[in-house]
Structure 1
Amino acid sequence: MIESRKSVHERYLGHRTTYEMALWLLFYLANTTANSLVALIEMRRRDPAFPAWEPVVWESSSTLLMLALLPLVVWFTRRVPLHWDNWRRRLPLYLLASLVFSVVHVGGMVGLRQLAYAWMGGHYDFGPVLREFFYEYLKDVRSFAWMVAIIEVYRFILRRLQGEASLLDLPDSGPPVEPVDRPDRFLVRKLGREFLVAAADIEWLQASGNYVNLHVNGRDYPLRSTIASIGDRLAPDLFMRVHRSYIVNLDRIVSIESLDTGDARLHMKDAAVIPCSRRHRAELRERAGASDSSRVA
């Protein structure tokens, strides 16, 4: 019954990684099949006896390296995100990343082709290295750009579906109705609608690249900020940073589980388990009024 009440978006998020992997695999499988057929048709126009396995090796070797590099591209775009206000500064980094991408792609692709040709009793000749690499880089830089574009558009759509938070701005004239330095509420935009979320309703916050996810009633609302910046603006009597990537609402902690490493796990009211580093553990126990009796088995 609970599952049936979830929206399509919420059900998708529950299996997001599986869906993402399946979509990328289907995309590259279709692309590899189509490119192999096109290459085979072109080669057999010149030589009707041209072996069908060679175009398959060419395309599948490239695809395998693309799939292997995909997680690194996702990581890079999360670590160095592009925005309208920073794309000029970060373009050189992306061009450098595309060069590294191409070096790894071409090197791995050639290695796989040489192994496949040797297996079939043949020999693969890449040709003049500089000329052929330049040719491959021209293709790879477009592939890299398309991968980045697809990833960023996908993230943009997800943020719009789940809602995106922002701090309340200063009014154009007159004093603010609510404090801005210590916000009591956050503005959330979702599918063209705007509503306010009380700061006290935020259960915990997690850093994610140039965003901080506000976890509220089972939903995550990305706020464009750093964890340090937003931590300085939250009420210190209610929120505390417990890890380099997490801030928690002290009222939402159920128990503190001590670990042998000196770190701890925080069990929250929403059943989430948040890591607490050893440098914050003593302060947390003092502020939360916890004791060793709060240890969870």
Structure 2
Amino acid sequence: MSPPTFYQRYQPWRRFTEIGFWVVQYLASGLANSITVNMDVRRQHLDFSAWQPMVWETSSALAALALVPAVVWFTRRFPLHVDDWRRLLPLHLLGSLAWSMLHVAGMVAIRKLAYASAGDSYDFGSWWREFGYEYLKDVRSYAGMVLTIEGYRLLLRRLQGEAMLLSLPDEGPPVEPVDRPERFLVRKLGREFLVAAADIEWLQAAGNYVNLRVRHHDYPLRSTIAGIEAKLDPDCFVRIHRSYIVNLSQVASIEPLDSGDARVHLRDATVLPCSRRYRAGLRARGGVE
């Protein structure tokens, strides 16, 4: 076993870091904006109490923070990439509009509750005029959030290593069949190396990517699970679940379950799910009961 990479050491801390980043960013932003707005109020001698700017800014930050999971899901479902960002840009513009509407509705609700608890009332003003003003700010906030998420994912893929199919050369015949590749090109931290298809232990669908499991490392390949299944050698690989494909040479045993599903035990002690839909096919293709 090779020593764990930085990416592997980061995994136990990953969720804590990701959540902590957004919490700290929005709370710090809300606090800093509250201070600066309060300073502007005092400088211009406006008739507002000190708690009101605090409510305005923290309500905006809390509403935006609550929407982070939705943006993470949306960008996972419709990720922006260099080769197709123009096609998905209109969809993300609609996403920014929906995000802004939810953000404004959330912060107004928080402000009304805060004002009511202080014995006062909050008036947002004309909805259409004020929403237009808020959207001009929110579309930039949404864009910044999407770029941060996509940049972070790109960094993780570079640390983890990202696989791709070998493409046709500019001149001459392909080195090997593109429809049934025997090797995959992996890029990792500026280096490129080839991974033999036979070395892939199993594959798992992950959004718009399929993770190739090779010697305890995962390499995301931009593809659908059905798309990559059609390119793999059916004598070596078999679909066992809507999200999993396994290398038959890695299968040690199949554990049937009362539900009709099964667990596939691999030679390295990894256990993968096998749905009843694919169980018969696995047994017919050489799995061991």
Give the TM-score taking structure 1 as reference length.
0.91
Distance across 2 between alignment mates of 1:247 and 1:27 = 39
Alpha-carbon offset, residue 210 of structure 1: 2.2
Describe the shift of the 1:270–1:150 C-alpha distance in structure 2 as closer, same or farther (beyond 3 A): farther
- Conservation of the 8 A alpha-carbon contact between 2:251 and 2:287: no
Q: Does 1:246 align with 2:244?
A: yes
> Please, what is the CA RMSD of the aligned residues?
1.9
Contact 1:205 1:215 in 2 (8 A): yes
Counterpart in the other structure of 1:287: 285
CA distance in 2, matches of 1:186, 1:221: 10
- 2:80 aligns to what SS in structure 1? coil
Matches of 1:257 and 1:94, distance apart in 2:
44
CA–CA separation in structure 1 for the residues paired with 2:258 and 2:101: 44
Deviation (angstroms), 1:34: 0.7
Query: Is the deviation greater in 185-194 or in 171-180?
Result: 171-180
Q: Is the 8 A contact 2:200 2:213 kept in 1?
A: yes
Q: Deviations over 1:51-104 (max 9, x none)?
A: 222222212211222121111111111111112222222111111111111111
1:102 equivalent in structure 2: 100
Q: Distance in 1 between matches of 2:47 and 2:258?
A: 68
Change (3 A) 1:197 1:131: same
CA pair 266-53 structure 1, distance change in 2 beyond 3 A: farther
Q: Paired residue for 1:175?
A: 173
CA distance in structure 1 between the partners assigned to 2:257 and 2:67 by the alignment: 36
Alpha-carbon contact 2:254-2:287 (below 8 Å) kept: no
Q: Percent identity?
A: 63
Aligned-partner SS, 1:18 = helix
1:174 CA displacement: 3.3
Q: Partners in 1 of 2:270 and 2:82 — Cα distance?
A: 34
| Structure 2 equivalent of residue 68 of structure 1 | 66
Q: In structure 1, what residue type is equivalent to 2:207?
A: G
Q: Displacement, 1:171?
A: 3.0
Cα distance change on mapping 1:127 and 1:272 into 2, 3 Å:
farther
Which residue of structure 2 aligns with residue 189 of structure 1? 187
Contact 1:183 1:233 in 2 (8 A): yes
CA contact under 8 A between 1:81 and 1:209: conserved in structure 2?
no
Name the CA shift for 1:129/1:239 in 2 (closer, same or farther; >3 Å).
Answer: same
Tell me the secondary structure at the aligned position of residue 84 of structure 1. coil
Which residue is 1:7 aligned to?
5
Q: Offset at 1:49?
A: 7.3
Q: How many Å apart are 1:40 and its aligned residue? A: 1.0
- Paired residue total: 289
